Amino acid sequence: MSKRIKEITKERYAAVARAIRSNRAGSCCATGGCCGPRSYTPEETAGLPQDLALASLGCGNPTTPADLKEGEVVLDLGCGAGLDVLLSAKRVGPKGKVYGLDMTDEMLTLAKEYQQRTGLSNVEFLRGEMEDIPLPDNYVDVIISNCVINLVPDKMRVFREAFRILKPGGRLAVSDMILLRPVPEHLRHDVELWTSCIAGALIEEEYRSMLEAAGFVDVEVRTAQTLGSENLLDGLSSVELVERVMPYVDNLARGFVRARKP
């Protein structure tokens, strides 16, 4: 199941990246990503290509709770087209550095094109998986991620890797889909629901206990608004699937998670 989810996730986001490229002025929501309402202010995205803001597939804005400072080293797990990477690069400035990690080649191609258009040089995109991060131990000040951890089958491995590469005192700031209440087991095994950022979401308490088990302290899990049926309709391919999920739509919320490596 895990291998299949990874392959289908990669295929799905490769197709989303191709759709964004061929329809740059359009919204990513038409492409079936994990989109939600825009979480970025015009001031934050000023100076970045307008179509990049529309290419965001996240469910929040992790760069705000990350509280980035000049000169910091940042890693974005599952960076997609790179909006959070480029926003972070502006915040940490030329003395800082921001890495964007993604497993999907088509997303990385898109991200590098956007980087070239911004001229930001304190950025590097890496091809790889969050379960096996291609960076040394104790290397980054801050890890951010936007609507990706829910997509990963082995979340404990991601949390251990995040802990490994953070410097002592380093911070984790993640926007993600979070379950307020459990959903039936059969929905959790649906691959399309998984790649739509629904089936793989953790329950609030699971998120906290897994991060603590990986060694993190000061873990804070906050949920904001629930997904809402209109957003559900955007991402799913069949009426039958929408009908199966609809009774549980209020179980799923956008949220953010913060934690610290001691």
Question: Is 80:88 a contact under the CB 8 Å cutoff?
Answer: no
Q: Considering beta carbons, is residue 217 or 233 the nearer one to ligand SAM? A: 233
CB of 208 vs ligand SAM, minimal distance in Å: 21
Q: CB 99 → ligand SAM: shortest distance, Å?
A: 12
**Do the beta carbons of residue 93 and residue 87 sit within 8 Å?**
no
Q: CB of residue 30 vs ligand SAM: minimum separation in angstroms?
A: 15
Which two structure tokens, joined as six digits, stand for 26?
Answer: 């359009």
Enumerate residues 27-86 that contact ligand SAM by CB under 6 A: 33-34, 56-58, 78-81, 83-84
Under the binding rule (CB under 6 A), the answer on residue 231 touching ligand SAM is: no
Q: How far apart are CA 67 and CA 24, in angstroms?
A: 30
Tell me: does residue 177 bind ligand SAM (CB under 6 A).
no
Residue with Cβ nearer ligand SAM (94 or 224): 224
Binding mask 97-126 for ligand SAM (x = CB under 6 A): ----xxxx--x-------------------
What tokens does 137 get? Answer: 């131990």
Q: Which of 129, 161, 176, 204 contacts ligand SAM by CB under 6 A? A: 129
Residues 6+ apart with CB under 8 A from 165: 75, 133, 135, 136, 137, 138, 139, 140, 143
Pairing of strands 123-127, 140-146: unpaired
Q: Which residues of 166-176 are buried (b: 16+ CB within 10 A; e: fewer)?
A: beeebbbbbbb
Among 31, 39, 45, 146, binds ligand SAM (CB under 6 A): 146
Interface residue list for ligand SAM (CB under 6 A):
9, 13, 33-34, 56-58, 78-81, 83-84, 101-104, 107, 129-131, 146-148, 151-152
